[in-house]
Amino acid sequence: MYMRVGKLYREAGKKPPVSFEFFPPRDEKAEAGFDRTLDSLSSLDYDYMSVTFGAGGSTKEGSYNTVKKMITDRKLPTVAYIAGYGLAPSDITKVLDRYKALGVETIFVIRGDEPKDPEFSPHPDSFEHASDMIAFIRERYDFDLGCAGYPEGHIQAESLEKDIEYLKLKVDNGAQYVIAQYFYDNTCFFDYVTKCRAAGIDVPIIPGIMPIYSMKLTKMLCNLCGSTLPRPIAEKLEELSSKEKGAVAEYGIEVAVEQCRDLLDRGVDGLHFYTMNRSKSIAAIVQQLKNRNRLYE
């Protein structure tokens, strides 16, 4: 199923679009789990799904096959990521040509991380910044384009203000919407949006929601992404770590529901959930929001 996400956000009206993000499964066992996750989440009232793309093209085939399954086999509205770090421009066009042939209408563009493979060597003509890649794609394709924003600043940025300058360049070069890195303090997100608007960034900025799935995963992701875990949440997680299995995930659902309720009450343009290829927490969060009349009014 085709999906122009820039248009979706522009024409959403009072109903905030809901989206789910996945990564391509790595093996047959993960594939089976992923299929179950799709079965569960595709039954919800949502607007689109997205599939990530590994550093240096490491999941190029896996990402393509996942997108193909979702569009061709399951008829799901799907957005494809592309991460251009280290890739030659010709490699990028090959990837995009294949997505275009599938019927993909929206590409989410990120620079991506440097691959951990010590034998990886970036192409000398690879794009240094996501903004450069967005301009390259805009000149050659008719995709709707999305890009990433970082409410607490990208971990490699010299400052939040400089990071917002880079975001402005992405938008100037053709990005039509922004998905924010996840955060747990809504004040941080709204302060970020205010600064972006003051900088002249006028496209929709969608909050990214990362439910707390487990203590270990939460700490690892916060360290990796530079997201801050507020002290009350951190203290509660420490308290729950010795409780019965599942207590942390249940608390994570509670935190995410309250976070999303506040975001929706304050008029955000949509909600983007980082699923980590899991369904239980996401399904519970979306259902509770629906039951409390915070979605689909």
Domains and CATH numbers, the chain: 5-291 (3.20.20.220)
pLDDT in tens, the chain (297 residues): 567 999 999 998 878 999 999 999 999 999 999 999 999 999 998 999 999 998 777 788 999 999 999 999 999 999 999 998 889 999 999 999 999 999 999 999 999 877 777 777 888 888 989 999 999 999 999 999 999 999 999 988 899 999 999 999 999 999 999 999 999 999 999 999 999 999 999 999 999 999 999 989 999 999 889 899 999 999 999 999 887 778 999 999 999 999 999 999 999 999 999 999 999 999 999 999 988 665 655
User: CA–CA separation, 192 vs 198, rounded Å?
Assistant: 10
User: CA–CA separation, 137 vs 32, rounded Å?
Assistant: 34
User: CA–CA separation, 256 vs 24, rounded Å?
Assistant: 24
Residue 21 a catalytic site member: yes
User: CA–CA separation, 278 vs 297, rounded Å?
Assistant: 26
> pTM of the predicted model, to two decimals?
0.94
Strands (E) in 106-187, as ranges, are 106-110, 144-149, 177-180
Measured in degrees and rounded to the nearest 5, phi and psi for residue 26 equal -95, -20
**C-alpha closest to that of 80 among 57, 44, 109, 101:** 109
Amino acid identity of 78? T
The total of other beta-carbon atoms located within 10 Å of residue 77's CB is 21
**C-alpha closest to that of 46 among 278, 226, 289, 240:** 289
Q: Are 22 and 52 in contact (CB under 8 A)?
A: yes
Catalytic residue among 11, 21, 158, 238: 21
* Matching residue, tokens 């992404």: 225
Measured in degrees and rounded to the nearest 5, phi and psi for residue 146 equal -115, 165
Q: Which two tokens stand for residue 24?
A: 């391509």
Provide the pairing of β-strand 18-22 with 205-206.
unpaired
What angle in degrees, to the nearest 10, is found between the helix axes of 186-198 and 160-172?
A: 60
User: CA–CA separation, 215 vs 29, rounded Å?
Assistant: 24
User: CA–CA separation, 133 vs 276, rounded Å?
Assistant: 26
